[in-house]
């Protein structure tokens, strides 16, 4: 179905919006008469290429002539009159500037499509109360009302400008006529002629007075309209757009996903269109003033200030509307934007929220890193980089799903600049994972209606401020909720606050510096708080995500709190928590048992790290974990997950089903015996050596070695092995503790890109 026919079927509230699209510049009657032909032309292309615009304009006049002939045959006098008037108007206004009419038609067609899309979305989502299908706050409703009011005032101003032009034409005609007659009357020298001249002079003075009054009214209303535009623009840029940028910042550090920009784009585009209309009206005032002027002319007095004001508003709006829609991000790490590895591709997307079809394929965007020396000074000590890949792109509406005017950079990489003989090379051992702040800038130039506007967008996060614990706690919870289904509880956050800030009654107002958070080592540790926590997040995401999402892992809990909640529980109750001493991230389980005298003991196993969990499931470790009791019998100390969940119910579904014996799967008459089934279990020997370590992380994590030694030093260095391998006296290499650190040192450098 043709677009115009679809529009006719919309609800009244959408039709009212449609009526506002059309004016004398492009009458709705013409849209109705030539609907199929108008929709078949490429108006956006014509708006950017004068030769094509000229061709399309003359074809348009030809189409009008054909319609006129049809109505002539039908004897439809009204339509004939309307078409004749429309054609004369188009010829007088656009014959010398066909690109302008092409721009107007392109804009109308795009607005029609947007209207249809809004109606369709509302019908699908059942959100008939608002075309965009999103929740609108009271403040945003007021903003939309103000934008509608501005559009109406601009249209009213258009009508007054026509009245002014007609009144000035009448005055100019009468003035010139009277001047000519006055020169003739000097020769005739008749009293009757002089009286008639005085009467005409009086009428002319009245016309001049009315002209002056209307000019002053228009100038005053224009000044008020510009003030209203300024107010709405500040609401858009200082409130709505700033709020979106803030949400984007929060999303980049793990907060809730940011909302889309479509509604903001609609608002900003609407305001920009109104500003261009009023600028054309101000230009029209200049033309009228050049034809007729007089002493005390308000146009001479006030037009320059009006022109300067509207140009400033439009420039500032365009600059604010140039945004980074998607911050730099490596495709393999979508949950960690703003962190870029050298030599690894990353992506960006920029967008102009002023959606003019005539700007399609007109704006060339360039990406620059550390643009000026002043930028480098702000990040002194950082290395210098070049951006490789396609670092220039043209903004267009075709690549995005919603037709936004945007440019997406998909294949950018950073390469460090060489510094002569003293510079580093990629093979240098000193090239470790580092943290540096760099500025990525997007630049372009806009040429529109005689204005040249330089657009630039610099990314953020260059100067991390001091934050309160309440702010940091929210961000820490986001770090988990953004990559898992579960954030952090109040109790978990309190434990983290104590590790970061030490004992305190109320952490709420405590301030945390960037250095305290990720630079300085924690008390008694050889690593910072963030290094430790980041490795735990990685551990959760890669190895124990399902258990974390189920809520089975208490995770962050102090030793005192752990003892307090486990001591009243029956033997076999256990909980899961993260290691406090492992830099690489580790998880352990702590359980309750009774010694020979019946005294409650709290025992912990040596933490399992990412290196160990690479080859075994943590759920299977828990299900198969055994200890050797005093009678050399393997028993499981883990029975109930805190508070009282049977471990089979919690972890059984995450264990691989045991394979059926081969004899059962093959020929039942076969005499060949099946292989012995092997099961991977962790075993702790010698319960007599168990101790309670209130101030230590570690107790045991080993495999029964076939001895019953009471020397606890024999237990710690052992890596878990299958019971089957132990029975056959097999040995297993225990990788050195520095292997993972060495691997990290060989990674390419990380560059944190502040946005």
- β-bridge mates for residue 366, sequence order: 392, 443
Please, are residues 103 and 47 in contact by the beta-carbon 8 Å criterion?
A: yes
Residue 450 CA to residue 245 CA, distance in Å, equals 30
Name the class of domain 137-182+199-373+381-418+435-463. Answer: mainly alpha
Helices and strands of the chain, counted as H and E runs: 26, 21
**Quick one: residue 133, left, alpha or beta (phi over 0 = left, psi -120 to 50 = alpha)?**
left
**What pLDDT shows up at residue 713?**
31
Residue of 46, 745, 714 whose CA lies nearest to 428: 745
**What pLDDT shows up at residue 298?**
94
HSE at residue 298, side-chain half, CA atoms within 13 A, is 18
**What pLDDT shows up at residue 421?**
46
Spatial neighbors of 658 by CB under 8 A, at least 6 apart, are 677, 679
Residue 608 CA to residue 203 CA, distance in Å, equals 101
Q: Does residue 453 or residue 148 have the better pLDDT? A: 148
Please, are residues 351 and 404 in contact by the beta-carbon 8 Å criterion?
A: yes
Residue 589 CA to residue 606 CA, distance in Å, equals 8
Q: Does residue 187 or residue 482 have the better pLDDT? A: 482
**What pLDDT shows up at residue 14?**
73
**What pLDDT shows up at residue 115?**
77
Q: Residue 525 to residues 49, 148, 500, 554: CA-CA distances in angstroms?
A: 67, 61, 12, 22
Q: Does residue 241 or residue 732 have the better pLDDT? A: 241
Q: Taking residues 219-238, report their average pLDDT.
A: 93
Average the pLDDT over each of 32-41, 63-72, 171-180 and give the range with the smallest value: 171-180
Q: Is the dihedral of CA 735, 736, 741, 746 positive or negative?
A: negative
Spatial neighbors of 314 by CB under 8 A, at least 6 apart, are 272, 275, 276, 279, 451
**What pLDDT shows up at residue 18?**
77
Secondary structure element (H or E) that encloses residue 236, with its range: none
Instruction: Give residue-wise pLDDT tens across range 468-478.
Output: 888 888 888 88
pLDDT at 746 over 60: no
Spatial neighbors of 646 by CB under 8 A, at least 6 apart, are 639, 640
**What pLDDT shows up at residue 660?**
46
Q: Does residue 378 or residue 354 have the better pLDDT? A: 354
pLDDT band at 270 (very low <50, low <70, confident <90, very high): very high
Chain mean pLDDT for the chain: 77
pLDDT band at 378 (very low <50, low <70, confident <90, very high): very low
pLDDT at 420 over 70: no
pLDDT at 591 over 60: yes
Give the DSSP letter of residue 239: I
Residue of 590, 611, 556 whose CA lies nearest to 700: 590
Q: Taking residues 12-29, report their average pLDDT.
A: 73
Burial class (CB in 10 A: 0-12, 13-18, 19+), 622: buried
Residue of 191, 193, 173, 195 whose CA lies nearest to 183: 193
Q: Does residue 99 or residue 373 have the better pLDDT? A: 99
pLDDT band at 435 (very low <50, low <70, confident <90, very high): low
Do you know the residue count of the chain?
Answer: 755
**What pLDDT shows up at residue 575?**
93
pLDDT at 86 over 80: yes
**What pLDDT shows up at residue 522?**
85
Instruction: Give residue-wise pLDDT tens across range 671-721.
Output: 444 444 445 567 666 443 333 333 333 344 443 333 333 333 332 333 333
Residue 322 CA to residue 325 CA, distance in Å, equals 9
Spatial neighbors of 373 by CB under 8 A, at least 6 apart, are none
Q: Does residue 258 or residue 460 have the better pLDDT? A: 258
**Quick one: residue 479, left, alpha or beta (phi over 0 = left, psi -120 to 50 = alpha)?**
alpha
Residue 263 CA to residue 271 CA, distance in Å, equals 13
Of 170-184, 511-525, 684-698, 734-748, which one has max mean pLDDT? 511-525
CATH 1.10.3720.10 correct for 3-122: no
Give the DSSP letter of residue 712: G
Q: Is the dihedral of CA 297, 301, 302, 305 positive or negative?
A: positive
pLDDT at 33 over 60: yes
Of 62-71, 312-321, 596-605, 671-680, which one has max mean pLDDT? 312-321
Between the CA atoms of 570, 574, 580 and 585, what dihedral angle is there, to the nearest 10 degrees? 180
Average the pLDDT over each of 302-316, 418-432, 503-517 and give the range with the smallest value: 418-432
What distance, in Å, lies between the first and last C-alpha atoms of the chain? 46
pLDDT band at 191 (very low <50, low <70, confident <90, very high): low
* 0.75 surpassed by pTM: no
Q: Taking residues 455-467, report their average pLDDT.
A: 66
Q: Where are the domains of the chain?
A: 3-122, 137-182+199-373+381-418+435-463
**What pLDDT shows up at residue 354?**
93
Q: Does residue 161 or residue 505 have the better pLDDT? A: 161
Q: Please state, as a whole number, how many other Cβ atoms lie within 10 Å of the Cβ of residue 186.
A: 9
Instruction: Give residue-wise pLDDT tens across range 117-163.
Output: 777 766 655 443 443 334 567 788 888 889 999 999 999 999 999 99
| 250-269 residues labelled b (16+ CB within 10 A) or e (exposed) | bbbbbbeebeebbbbbbbbb
Of 8-17, 114-123, 354-363, 625-634, which one has max mean pLDDT? 354-363
**What pLDDT shows up at residue 434?**
58
Q: Residue 543 to residues 535, 602, 618: CA-CA distances in angstroms?
A: 12, 26, 8
Secondary structure of residue 750 in the 3-state scheme: strand
Of 365-374, 376-385, 490-499, 659-668, which one has max mean pLDDT? 490-499
**What pLDDT shows up at residue 681?**
65
Q: Does residue 656 or residue 145 have the better pLDDT? A: 145
Residue 283 CA to residue 304 CA, distance in Å, equals 10
Angle at 137 between CA 155 and CA 11, to 5 degrees: 55
Contacts 24+ apart (CB under 8 A), 89-93: 89/24, 90/57, 90/60, 90/61, 90/64, 91/61, 93/25
**What pLDDT shows up at residue 755?**
35
Give the DSSP letter of residue 245: H
Secondary structure of residue 28 in the 3-state scheme: helix
Residue of 577, 575, 572, 607 whose CA lies nearest to 592: 572
pLDDT at 661 over 60: no
**What pLDDT shows up at residue 658?**
60
Q: Taking residues 354-373, report their average pLDDT.
A: 84
**What pLDDT shows up at residue 343?**
83
Residue of 134, 122, 119, 104 whose CA lies nearest to 43: 104
Q: What percent of the chain has pLDDT over 90?
A: 19
pLDDT band at 200 (very low <50, low <70, confident <90, very high): confident
**What pLDDT shows up at residue 193?**
62
Spatial neighbors of 398 by CB under 8 A, at least 6 apart, are none
Secondary structure of residue 276 in the 3-state scheme: helix
- Tell me phi and psi for residue 358, to 5 degrees: -70, -15
Please, are residues 576 and 554 in contact by the beta-carbon 8 Å criterion?
A: yes
Residue 34 CA to residue 188 CA, distance in Å, equals 58
Spatial neighbors of 512 by CB under 8 A, at least 6 apart, are 466, 467, 468, 469, 472, 500, 501
pLDDT at 20 over 80: no
pLDDT band at 463 (very low <50, low <70, confident <90, very high): low
Q: Taking residues 584-591, report their average pLDDT.
A: 89
**What pLDDT shows up at residue 375?**
46
pLDDT at 459 over 60: no
pLDDT band at 670 (very low <50, low <70, confident <90, very high): very low
| 674-704 residues labelled b (16+ CB within 10 A) or e (exposed) | eeeeeebbbbbbbbeebeeeeeebbbbbbbb
Angle at 465 between CA 433 and CA 372, to 5 degrees: 65
Q: Taking residues 160-177, report their average pLDDT.
A: 89
Q: Does residue 252 or residue 542 have the better pLDDT? A: 542
Omega cis (within 30) before 643: yes
Q: Please spell the DSSP secondary structure of 292-360, one letter per residue.
A: S--TT-HHHHHHHHHHHHHHHHHHHHHHHTEEEEEEEE-TT-TT-TTEEETTS-EEEEEEESS--GGGT
Q: Please state, as a whole number, how many other Cβ atoms lie within 10 Å of the Cβ of residue 329.
A: 20
Give the DSSP letter of residue 655: S
Residue 385 CA to residue 413 CA, distance in Å, equals 10
Of 83-92, 166-175, 301-310, 488-497, which one has max mean pLDDT? 301-310
**What pLDDT shows up at residue 744?**
26
pLDDT at 442 over 60: yes
């Amino acid at each position: 179905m043709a677009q115009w026919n679809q529009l006719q079927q919309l609800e009244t509230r959408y039709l009212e919006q449609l009526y506002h699209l059309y004016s004398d510049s492009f009458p709705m009657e013409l849209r109705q008469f030539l609907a199929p032909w108008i929709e078949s032309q490429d108006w956006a292309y014509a708006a950017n290429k004068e030769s094509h615009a000229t061709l399309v304009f003359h074809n348009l006049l030809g189409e009008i002539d054909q319609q006129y002939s049809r109505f002539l045959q039908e004897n439809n006098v009204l339509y004939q009159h309307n078409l004749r008037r429309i054609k004369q108007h188009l010829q007088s206004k656009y014959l010398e500037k066909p690109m302008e009419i092409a721009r107007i038609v392109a804009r109308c067609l795009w607005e029609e499509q947007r209207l249809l899309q809004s109606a369709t979305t509302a019908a699908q989502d059942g959100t008939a109360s608002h075309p965009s299908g999103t929740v609108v706050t009271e403040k945003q409703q007021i903003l939309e009302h103000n934008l509608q009011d501005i559009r109406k005032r601009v249209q009213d101003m258009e009508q007054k400008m026509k009245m002014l032009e007609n009144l000035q034409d009448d005055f100019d005609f009468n003035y010139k006529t009277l001047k000519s007659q006055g020169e003739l009357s000097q020769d005739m020298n008749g009293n009757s002629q002089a009286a008639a001249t005085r009467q005409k002079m009086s009428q002319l003075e009245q016309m001049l007075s009315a002209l002056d009054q209307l000019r002053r009214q228009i100038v005053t209303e224009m000044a008020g309209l510009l003030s209203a535009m300024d107010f709405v623009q500040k609401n858009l840029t200082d409130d709505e757009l700033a709020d979106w940028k803030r949400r984007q910042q929060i999303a980049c550090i793990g907060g809730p996903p940011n909302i889309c920009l479509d509604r903001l784009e609609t608002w900003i585009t609407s305001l920009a269109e109104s500003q261009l209309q009023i600028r054309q009206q101000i230009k029209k005032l200049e033309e009228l003033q050049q034809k007729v002027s007089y002493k005390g002319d308000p146009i001479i007095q006030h037009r320059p200030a009006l022109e300067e004001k509207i140009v400033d508003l439009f420039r500032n709006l365009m600059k604010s509307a140039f945004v980074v829609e998607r911050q730099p991000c490596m495709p393999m790490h979508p949950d960690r934007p703003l962190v870029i590895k050298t030599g690894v591709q990353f992506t960006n997307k920029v967008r102009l929220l002023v959606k003019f079809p005539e700007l399609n394929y007109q704006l060339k965007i360039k990406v620059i890193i550390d643009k000026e020396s002043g930028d480098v000074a702000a990040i002194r000590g950082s290395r210098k980089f070049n951006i490789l890949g396609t670092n220039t792109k043209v903004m267009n509406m075709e690549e995005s799903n919603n037709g936004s005017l945007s440019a997406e950079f998909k294949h950018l990489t950073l390469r460090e600049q060489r510094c002569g003989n003293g510079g580093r090379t990629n093979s240098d051992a000193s090239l470790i994972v580092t943290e540096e702040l760099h500025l990525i800038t997007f630049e372009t130039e806009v040429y529109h209606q005689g204005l040249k506007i330089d657009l630039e967008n610099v990314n953020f996060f260059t100067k991390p401020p001091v934050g309160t614990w309440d702010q940091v706690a929210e961000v820490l919870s986001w770090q988990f909720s953004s990559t898992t289904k579960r954030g952090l509880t109040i109790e978990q956050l309190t434990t983290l606050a104590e590790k970061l800030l030490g004992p305190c009654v109320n952490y709420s107002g405590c301030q945390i510096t960037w250095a305290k958070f990720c630079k300085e080592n924690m008390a008694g540790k050889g690593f910072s708080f963030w290094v430790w926590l980041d490795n735990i997040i990685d551990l959760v995401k890669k190895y124990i995500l399902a258990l974390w999402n189920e809520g089975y892992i208490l995770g962050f809990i102090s030793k005192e709190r752990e003892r307090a909640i486990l001591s009243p529980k029956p033997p076999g109750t256990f909980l899961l928590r993260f290691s406090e001493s492992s830099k690489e991230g580790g998880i352990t389980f702590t359980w309750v048992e009774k010694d020979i005298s019946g005294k409650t003991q709290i025992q912990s196993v040596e933490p399992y790290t990412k290196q160990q969990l690479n080859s075994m499931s943590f759920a299977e470790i828990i299900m198969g974990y055994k200890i050797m009791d005093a009678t050399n019998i393997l028993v499981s100390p883990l029975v109930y997950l805190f508070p009282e969940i049977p471990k089979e119910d919690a972890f059984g579904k995450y264990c691989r089903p045991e394979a059926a014996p081969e004899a059962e799967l093959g020929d039942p008459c076969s005499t060949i015996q099946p292989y012995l089934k092997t099961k991977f279990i962790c075993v702790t020997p010698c319960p007599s050596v168990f101790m309670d370590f209130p101030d230590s992380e570690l107790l045991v994590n080993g495999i029964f070695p076939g001895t019953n030694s009471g020397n606890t030093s024999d237990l710690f260095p052992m890596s878990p092995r299958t019971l089957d391998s132990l029975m056959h006296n097999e040995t297993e290499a225990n990788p050195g503790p520095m292997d993972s650190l060495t691997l990290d040192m060989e990674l390419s450098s990380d560059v944190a890109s502040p946005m």
